[in-house]
Structures are given as C-alpha cells and as structure tokens.
Amino acid sequence: MITGYPKSSTTIFTSNFLDGLEHPQVIVANLLLRIGLTFGVTIACPTAISLQSSRLIDSPNLFDEESKHMLVLTLAWAYVLSARWTEIIPGASTMSYTESVATRDSRDNARNGDGDLIVDLGDITYEAARWWAAILAPEEGWGACNFHNGRVLKSPWSVKLESCRTLALRYNAVPSPLEWHSSASFSTAMAYVLDYAIYHGLQNQSRAAFAAALLLPTRHRISKQVRWPRMHLPRMQRSKPSVEQYLPPWGSNSCQLDRLLALSCNTTGIISLLCSTFIEPDIPCNVCGAWIQGAFAILDTQVAKEPHILAQMLMCRAPNLNFLWLGGILMNVQHYIMKWARPVAFQIDLHSAAWTNSYVSFIQKPVSRTASNATTVQRSDEARLMFLSQADHHSNPPLVPFTPFGSIALKDCILEVQMHVSCPGYHGLRYAGWAWNCRNNTKIAQDPIESSFTPSSKVDNAVAGHTTIHYDNLDRDKDCSESMTRNMFKWLREADGFPVAERAIREHEWINGGWSSEEESVAPEGDGKSTTDQQVGPWICRGITTRCNTI
C-alpha cells in the first residue's frame, strides 16, 4: 500500500478523497512492499488558454468542424474537476464566481458581425446561465482555492481565458441578476456539461474534452499557457437535441473520478506513462538505441507529424493509455513527451504503471522459473530479485526501463538472489491496493479492482504501409545504448562490485568510462574487497557480502 502525500503541506487528502483512489502495492512472495509517493495537488497560478489564429495554435483540430465546441467543453470540465477537488481537499473553499462574466448575445452583436463567437446554450435556467457566464468569462470567471499561510493556492485545473474578443452566450431564459446566484456544485456543474453535450450531440467531443482537462496539470508543469484556435461557431444554428441519455466519462462510480483526479495530479506519472509508449522494455539495454532511433525515424516522417496520424499511431501502440494521449495531443504536450522519450530521459513511475496496468519497465515482469540445480540466472531476473528482496542499495527500481542482457553465475549473485532464485512460487510485482496517510496517524485503503503479475504489453499489430522511412539520421554517437547499459550496471554492481567473470564488461569502454577513479577497487582481485565507494560502503560490504571473486 503506497502512501501518498501532497507536495505542499497545504493539503492532506481526506477520507472522502480516498474512497475511490487506488495506489500500487506490490507483493514479494507473501510480503508487502510499500513504496511512498508524493505529488502536488495545488498550483500557484491558473493555466492560461488563449484563442489564436489557426497559424499560431498549439492544439490540433482532431474533430474537424465539431471541434469548435472543444474549448467550451474543456473549460466546462475544468470547473467540474475543480468542484470535486473542493469537496475532497481539506481546507479548500467552496467554488466561487468572480465579477468577470461572458456577455449575453444581442441583436447588435449579430449586426456587427460578431456572431462567430456566440455560444448557443438552448433553453436553460437562470442558475445555468450564470454558470456558463463564469465558464466562458474573460480571464478568470470562477475560483477554486485553498488558503494556506497567507497564500492563495488554486486547484490544478484552474484556467483563465485570454482572447481579444469576448464570447457571447445565446440562451432562452428570463433575465435575472446574475450576481444573486451561488456557484454550482460538482454534481450540478456536471449536469450542465452533459446537457450541453446532449443539446449539440457532442458526446464523443465531450469525452475528448474531459481527457484534455485531465491533462491540464501536466500542461501547466510544461508551460503555463496553451493556445487554442479561435472559435467560429455557426450563427443561429441549433442542433436537434439528442434523446440519448449517457453517463459522464468516468461512468456511474464517482470513485473512478477520484482515481482520475489522483492520476491527473501525478504529473510525473503521466509523463512516465506517455514516454513509455516509445520504448520496449524487453529489448536488452545494450541494443536499445537501435530500437529508439528506428522508432523515431518513423515518427520524424512528414506524414507522422499530422496530428490525426500521430494520435492514431500512439493510441494504437498503447490502447490502455489512449485517453491520456488524446488529452495530451489536445493540450499539445506530445512534442515535449517525444523530446524526453528520444534519449529515454524520463523518470520511471511504477505507481501510475500499476494504476493503468501499463508496462513501463522490465522490473515489472515476474521472475522466471529456474530449475533447482541451475548454476546461472538471467541478469534480468537477478535485478528483479535484488529489487523485490529490497537488498542494500537496491530498494529503488533501476532508472533504466530496458532489460539487462545475458546471464550471471549464481555463485556470483548476492545472497538474497541465491536464496530466492529457485523458489517454487512466484516472485513479482502485483498491484494490491492504495492507501493514504491521513491525519491522526490514520490510513485509508482500498483494494484494487483486479490484480495481475504481468502488466499489459504494447501492441505491435500494425499493417505495413507504403510510407518510405528514411534512416539517414541514424547516429551511433546519439545512441542511448551506452548510457542505458552503464546506468544498468551501475545499479547492479555499484554496491557490491563486479565479479571476476564480468571483467570484460567492467573494462568495456561503455562501463569503464562512466566509473570514477574513486570507485575503482584499491586491492588486487581475490582479497575479498569490492568496488564500492571509499566511505561507508566498504566496511558494510566486508561484513555482510564479502566475496573473494569480485574486482
């Protein structure tokens, strides 16, 4: 059960927030391995969404003409997520409206040619009209805040609308003083969004806009602003209201929404998941660079730069992450994700991997069955057992997602590996639940919906096309295989040293160049010393893991 703390001391998750949140917990044989997680649940300033001309936009048009409603729906879902945030974050104030409001459509607007910025709401109540006036207001029309130590901290989905032209609302309702209406609650605001989607027949676009709203915290981490196309809503055109009644994007279980809120706030996890789409953890670390460069040779083609094509490629590659990729592309984070994925320069997050049943690291797979009389073990299984047994200096998973290559003699492994390598049962990570550390030293936990030893793998069933792939930009000097291999063996051997049998690996230029002289063994081979640092490590290793076969 992984405990969760917000980054800021301003907020501590309450039991209401915890009812539906899942957090990875892993089982080592019959033991629980608890891994902590910290992420922020507030921001200092809202994300600015600006309306720009088509040549300056960030957000791609994935829904053709119907995407004109995407901005409206995304802004609306941002309020809904923030409203839920105020209900579950201790100390958060209730939702409030500001004095900034969107204007109501008038005949003068139509005569002046401003109808392209009119939003048709149909027949709505006074309260709904006030809510929409806040949602589409210039700058900030509403607030979701937490006051702490004299600071005003906002919900991660807080937004402000920047546009040279205001949005006008068209609706049928008796005018009333807007300031008299209290702010809409979470459930009421959700109903307003669903009514708008049904009125215009935009169920699919509404779900896509919800995915975009979920990626707002990630976009805020990358950039505090996102540019969207300026809307051109048709004048005096009303779609026939749909009679289809449907559930919100998270279904009928509000606990599922709380899980999505936690995932949305864990921006490191979101980035890790999206970056993992470009890698294949089963590929050995010493040849992974060829895979990465080959993958990006395809992604760098002109056809793959089309938003529709890129979205389809990425969502087909990782179907369980398709909603994140849809939201990510609408928020224009794909270029940043690809920038980090190309050199594999992203943090592996096992928490989000467990939440989404995603395969982001070789360490997630169970240890292979090994015969009782085996004399060797795959290095990948050696690494898994070192992590699962929480051996010294191996309590954290490797930073490298790719598997180590080859095998090692069992006698050269640390004792924890030798003890467990031939166990009849399974050794592996399994999702077992989520728990929060709450006030008064209490914990709130929930079991997972399902549990598996093996995460979902990537999908590679695409039919070959006729696009010509150019590999002219392949560059061995930019190959990440060297850094991945060096980091992998640092994780494996930095604490206890290299066995003599791995002398060739230790002296290889990829490894030797990354080890400082202080890390070199100061004694001749065979004297029981290992290549640990010269401070605390040596006497610990001599007392616990002394071996006469290290260099």
- Residue 158 backbone zone (phi > 0: left; psi -120 to 50: alpha; other: beta): beta
pLDDT at position 437 is 75
Highest mean pLDDT among 6-10, 24-28, 348-352: 348-352
Q: What is the mean pLDDT of residues 258-269?
A: 94
d(CA 162, CA 235) in angstroms, rounded, equals: 22
Q: What is the mean pLDDT of residues 401-408?
A: 97
Is 228 strand, coil or helix? strand
pLDDT at position 546 is 41
The domain tally of the chain equals: 2
Q: What is the mean pLDDT of residues 52-63?
A: 58
> Residue 540 — pLDDT band, cuts 50, 70, 90?
very low
Please answer whether residues 119 and 81 qualify as being in contact, where contact means their C-beta atoms are separated by less than 8 angstroms: no
> Residue 329 — pLDDT band, cuts 50, 70, 90?
very high
Comparing 470 with 289, which gets the higher pLDDT?
A: 289
Same domain, 309 and 286: yes
d(CA 427, CA 416) in angstroms, rounded, equals: 13
Same domain, 182 and 309: no
* Own/partner pairs, 437-445, CB within 8 angstroms, 24+ separation: 437/3, 437/4, 437/5, 438/12, 438/13, 438/14, 438/15, 438/18, 439/12, 439/90, 443/1, 443/3, 444/15, 444/18, 444/19, 445/1, 445/18
Q: What is the mean pLDDT of residues 45-52?
A: 90
Same domain, 242 and 309: no
For the cut 50, the answer to whether the pLDDT of residue 517 exceeds it is: no
pLDDT at position 488 is 97
d(CA 143, CA 152) in angstroms, rounded, equals: 10
Query: 336: which residues sit within 8 A by CB, 6+ positions away?
Result: 222
pLDDT at position 245 is 59
For the cut 90, the answer to whether the pLDDT of residue 118 exceeds it is: no
For the cut 70, the answer to whether the pLDDT of residue 2 exceeds it is: no
For the cut 60, the answer to whether the pLDDT of residue 510 exceeds it is: yes
Q: Residue 171: inside a domain, yes or no? A: yes
Same domain, 183 and 215: yes
pLDDT at position 502 is 95
Q: Of the residues 330, 362, 394, which one is the last residue of a structural domain?
A: 362
Same domain, 80 and 161: yes
Q: Residue 75: inside a domain, yes or no? A: yes
pLDDT at position 178 is 52
Task: Domain of residue 312: give its range.
Answer: 268-362
Q: Residue 434: inside a domain, yes or no? A: no
pLDDT at position 327 is 96
Rg (CA), the chain: 27
Same domain, 101 and 249: yes
**Alpha-helical regions (H) of 215-266:** 216-222, 254-265
Q: Which amino acid is at 115?
A: G
Helix (H) or strand (E) run with residue 355 in it: helix 350-356
pLDDT at position 53 is 63
Q: Residue 222: inside a domain, yes or no? A: yes
pLDDT at position 468 is 64
Total count of residues recorded for the chain = 551
Comparing 8 with 226, which gets the higher pLDDT?
A: 226
d(CA 374, CA 371) in angstroms, rounded, equals: 5
Q: What is the pLDDT of residues 442-498, one digit of tens each?
A: 777 766 766 555 666 666 555 455 556 666 667 777 789 999 999 999 999 999 999
For the cut 90, the answer to whether the pLDDT of residue 352 exceeds it is: yes
Least confident of 238-252, 374-388, 394-408, 484-498: 238-252
Q: Residue 227: inside a domain, yes or no? A: yes
pLDDT at position 306 is 86
Q: What is the mean pLDDT of residues 134-156?
A: 92
For the cut 70, the answer to whether the pLDDT of residue 158 exceeds it is: yes
Q: What is the mean pLDDT of residues 172-199?
A: 83
For the cut 90, the answer to whether the pLDDT of residue 131 exceeds it is: yes
Is 398 strand, coil or helix? coil
Q: Residue 544: inside a domain, yes or no? A: no
Comparing 264 with 29, which gets the higher pLDDT?
A: 264
Q: Of the residues 254, 279, 309, which one is the last residue of a structural domain?
A: 254
Comparing 327 with 241, which gets the higher pLDDT?
A: 327
Same domain, 241 and 183: yes
Is 27 strand, coil or helix? strand
Q: Residue 92: inside a domain, yes or no? A: yes
Mean pLDDT across the chain, nearest whole number? Answer: 80
Q: Residue 395: inside a domain, yes or no? A: no
Q: What is the mean pLDDT of residues 79-83?
A: 98
Same domain, 76 and 121: yes
Q: Of the residues 309, 343, 362, which one is the last residue of a structural domain?
A: 362
Identify the burial level of 334 via C-beta atoms within 10 angstroms of its C-beta, where 0-12 means exposed, 13-18 middle and 19 or more buried. Answer: buried
pLDDT at position 229 is 75
> Residue 91 — pLDDT band, cuts 50, 70, 90?
confident
Q: Which residues of 424-433 are buried (b: 16+ CB within 10 A; e: fewer)?
A: eeebbbbbbb
Same domain, 170 and 250: yes
The number of C-alpha atoms within 13 Å of 423 and in the hemisphere containing its C-beta is 18
Same domain, 277 and 237: no
> How much of the chain, in percent, has pLDDT values that exceed 70?
73
**CA 191 and chain centroid, separation:** 27
> Residue 275 — pLDDT band, cuts 50, 70, 90?
very high
Comparing 229 with 462, which gets the higher pLDDT?
A: 229
d(CA 367, CA 549) in angstroms, rounded, equals: 25
pLDDT at position 439 is 72
Same domain, 233 and 276: no
Q: What is the mean pLDDT of residues 80-94?
A: 92
pTM: predicted TM-score of the whole model, two decimal places:
0.83
Least confident of 22-31, 229-238, 511-520: 22-31
d(CA 271, CA 336) in angstroms, rounded, equals: 9
Same domain, 248 and 336: no
